[in-house]
Amino acid sequence: MDSPPHAPSPDKQRSLVAALRGFLPGDAVLFREEETRPYECDGLTLFRQLPMVVALPETEDQIRRILQLCHEHKVPVIPRGAGTGLSGSALPHPDGLLLSLAKLNRILSIDPRAQTATVQPGVRNLAISEAAARHRLYYAPDPSSQIACTIGGNVAENSGGVHCLKYGLTIHNVLRVRGLTIEGEAVEFGGLAPDAPGLDLLALVIGSEGMLAVVTEVTVRLVPVAQTARCIMASFADIGEAGDAVAALIADGIIPAGLEMLDQAATRLVEPFANAGYDLDAAAVLLCESDGTPEEVAEEIERMSAVLLAARATRIQVSNSEAERLRFWAGRKNAFPAAGRASPAYYCMDGTIPRRRLGEVLKAIQALEPKYGLRCPNVFHAGDGNLHPLILFDDADPDSVARAEAFGAEILELCVQMGGTVTGEHGVGVEKLDQMCSQFDRPTLDAFLGVKSAFDPAGLLNPGKVVPTLHRCAEYGRMRVHGGNLRFPELPRF
């Protein structure tokens, strides 16, 4: 989708830049097109928009002054971490300020005894684990983008990863967030106690996609590095049986450290790049990991193997060395780059479904491929029922782009119909605004808007994201009833 034909007023831009330069160094305020172009989109490249101004503060005090200035002049503020988000939460606003938190990248403290780390929002996810490694601790949530993505962005999106079935999402691994409201007031969310008194604002701010506050400090929980880990690679002749095997493992009381699935289209897509040794004849391959002490792992691998075989696995292979374990994972972890090499572009969906309907939904997605004339391999967090269908398309061909969007929208609607949701861990952003109308009824959407207003009555923090307006849902309802073919409408003019 091209940038909407909208440019900010030069006067407004000039006066904002001048005011910002009153307290920020010159290179921390960007406004020329060649400077702001790198910020026009996040990981969801289907949507692009130049911001009026980009600000790159280095301290909480600078952020406070930026927010106070924007609040005073009614300038929308769009916070951004590393820009790896996949739902367009960091898409700029044409009349707004893009607030990059990238320079707030210091690890403030690590407390090995309390097993916590306090960091600034621009610290990369993996950098926390690297810094904690000397205490044999790490930060558990591991999104695929963990080399690049920042903890501030993880908080905004409530990010997960391949280990979140056992170790939880961001919400389960963050103890405390300090943030600034649009008025520049500091608010403490959560704390070091198991349950903070009063309303649980910590859970509210985690996953709020920059709508409520700008994160300035995060205290995360660290967990001990497991003594050892081993992985089972299991083949299935039918994708429904693979789905049932996942349910059987959970029903047996096993919580694998990782439980991921690749369908045949995905194994065939990634194998040439990753040489993971996947069974290319299998309809689905399941990766099932155990971690802990060597004794615990040996016992759990045995239990898992028994359950998988009873659930009609056609082949089972257990990693016998760390190198082999990493090789099993190489295919799963490189699925997105592999898709990028196999196709000019890919569009990663993020719906969730009840685990018991995995087979049914995967077959329905396969059946949609000819309708849209696009391939759609699947790699996903099977244990969570969190799908990541990768729609392969050609971004130079507008018709292919439109078909990819429509395909994606139909997949999301399918997830909702199956009793699932439109997003498991990538957030709503601008991408799933319409599907939020299907997901929630009006009183619930109004509750979201009510809470948003409590923090930001003027609607300046990341406007037009996450919660659709009444008008938008009415439009979407008409389109679904009368339009026949589902597709994304134009981005709202905010």
Looking at residues 95 to 134 of the shown chain, list those that interact with a second copy (rule: CB under 8 A): 112-115
HEC string of 28-94 equals: HEECCHHHHHHHCCCCCCCCCCCCCEEECCCCHHHHHHHHHHHHHHCCCEEEECCCCCCCCCCCCCC
Cβ-contact 403, 373 below 8 angstroms:
yes
Q: Which of 191, 373, 398, 489 binds a second copy (CB under 8 A)?
A: 191
Q: Is 201 in the site for a second copy (CB under 8 A)?
A: yes
CB of 318 or CB of 436, closer to a second copy: 436
CB of 295 or CB of 399, closer to a second copy: 295
Q: Is 200 in the site for a second copy (CB under 8 A)?
A: yes
Cβ-contact 192, 176 below 8 angstroms:
yes
Q: Is 206 in the site for a second copy (CB under 8 A)?
A: yes
CB of 203 to a second copy, least distance (A): 3
Instruction: Lay out the sheet containing 107-111: strands in order across.
Output: 107-111, 116-119, 214-221, 174-180, 186-190
CB of 219 to a second copy, least distance (A): 12
Q: Is 299 in the site for a second copy (CB under 8 A)?
A: yes
CB of 420 or CB of 463, closer to a second copy: 420
x/- track of binding to a second copy for residues 237-276 (CB under 8 A): ----------x--xxxx-----------------------
CA 163/CA 172 separation, integer angstroms: 12
The token duo for 457 is: 């009555």
CB of 356 to a second copy, least distance (A): 6
Q: Which stretch binds a second copy (CB under 8 A): 58-66, 185-193, 333-341, 398-406?
A: 185-193
Identity of the residue numbered 44: L
The token duo for 10 is: 């030069």
**Residue 446's Cα: distance from chain center in Å?**
24
Q: Which stretch binds a second copy (CB under 8 A): 55-63, 309-317, 359-367, 383-391?
A: 383-391
CB of 280 or CB of 447, closer to a second copy: 447
CA 236/CA 79 separation, integer angstroms: 44
Return the sign of the alpha-carbon dihedral for residues 351, 353, 357, 358: positive
Q: Which of 49, 145, 158, 319 binds a second copy (CB under 8 A)?
A: 158
Q: Which stretch binds a second copy (CB under 8 A): 39-47, 77-85, 139-147, 156-164?
A: 156-164
Q: Is 199 in the site for a second copy (CB under 8 A)?
A: yes
Q: Is 459 in the site for a second copy (CB under 8 A)?
A: no
CA 321/CA 327 separation, integer angstroms: 10
H helices of 110-150, in order, are 125-132
CB of 204 or CB of 237, closer to a second copy: 204
Q: Which stretch binds a second copy (CB under 8 A): 35-43, 44-52, 391-399, 420-428?
A: 420-428
CB of 218 to a second copy, least distance (A): 16
CA 447/CA 424 separation, integer angstroms: 20
Q: Which of 79, 207, 210, 331 binds a second copy (CB under 8 A)?
A: 207
Q: Is 444 in the site for a second copy (CB under 8 A)?
A: yes
Q: How many residues bind a second copy (CB under 8 A)?
A: 80
CB of 181 to a second copy, least distance (A): 7
* 175 three-class SS: strand
CB of 447 to a second copy, least distance (A): 5
Cβ-contact 211, 461 below 8 angstroms:
yes
CB of 393 or CB of 455, closer to a second copy: 455
Q: Is 181 in the site for a second copy (CB under 8 A)?
A: yes
| Residue 280 CB-density burial (10 A; 0-12 exposed, 13-18 middle, 19+ buried) | exposed
Tell me how many degrees the CA angle 124-129-134 measures, rounded to the nearest 5.
135
Q: Which of 138, 455, 476, 488 binds a second copy (CB under 8 A)?
A: 455
- Give CA torsion, residues 468, 474, 480, 481, to 10 deg: 160
The token duo for 189 is: 């969310």
The token duo for 13 is: 């831009």
Q: Is 428 in the site for a second copy (CB under 8 A)?
A: yes
Residues of this chain, 306-365, that bind a second copy according to CB under 8 A:
352, 354-356
Q: Which stretch binds a second copy (CB under 8 A): 70-78, 92-100, 321-329, 437-445?
A: 437-445
Q: Is 452 in the site for a second copy (CB under 8 A)?
A: yes
H helices of 456-488, in order, are 470-482
Q: Which stretch binds a second copy (CB under 8 A): 46-54, 260-268, 295-303, 403-411?
A: 295-303
